[in-house]
Amino acid sequence: FLISLIAAGVVTAICGFMMGFAVFRVRGDYLAIVTLGFGEVVRVVANNTQTVTNGPLGLKGLADHTTVWWTWGLAIITIFYVSRLVRSSYGMAMKAVKYDEAAAEAVGINAFRHKMLAFTSSAFFEGIGGGLLAHLITTISPTLFTFFLTFNLLIIIVVGGLGSTTGAVIAAILVTWGGEFLRFVEEPINIFFIHIPAVPGMRMVIFSLLLVLMMIFARHGIMGTREFSWNWVVDKMNGIKILSRMKR
């Protein structure tokens, strides 16, 4: 099982590496559009490759190897790797490329190489995540990887904070829990004598509204560019206690 997960990560990393040569020819919003376009191309090709992927039906009967220990264990390894990478010289160079690519290149940073490293690394961990998903639900199909999944990931990144690893973790927990909690809005509801029919896709509408509100009132997300620390929590709690005493 572990070998298959690593193999999935390596294959997706190679695909991401090759795709990087095409997508990094553009910048900004165009880069995001091209990346999303590639995702749709891969999904459509997989959907129509009956001999390999079994088309929309997908591959069924996979072993249910994924457990909470595998999931949390690999998540901790991923967070540890990303945290070390961000604090390394490569991470500092990536931040420089992120904020001002021209200035980074002017001081000798190879922007293309560092963007490729970030792209390939993320593709590797995405492949492992896909392997965990396949062995959790014991099936894998191209129909699972729609734009809704991509939009969910974007929500997590924006809500958590574009420059925070721990913010992304917190947002992933909140968005996943919120998605399950809001399932009732897509079911028929009876309020006294009023019957409200089921509205499919209402969760997506609510998530979109939350994202808009987040962009208006908290543009940098929950954590912004900061990382979570218990000292920060203690300071906040002490501040609340001081304010409550002052009111008395």
- Write the pLDDT tens digit of every residue in 217-237: 777 777 777 777 767 666 666
Question: Counting runs of H as helices and runs of E as strands, what totals does the chain give?
Answer: 11, 4
pLDDT confidence of residue 244: 64
Where do the structural domains in the chain lie, given as residue ranges?
Answer: 1-145, 147-248
CA distance 155 to 144: 18
For residue 104, give the nearest of 92, 86, 121 by alpha carbon. 92
Per-residue pLDDT of 70-106, as tens digits, reads 888 888 888 888 888 888 888 888 888 777 778 888 8
CA distance 4 to 140: 14
3-state class (DSSP) for residue 195 = strand
241, pLDDT greater than 70? no
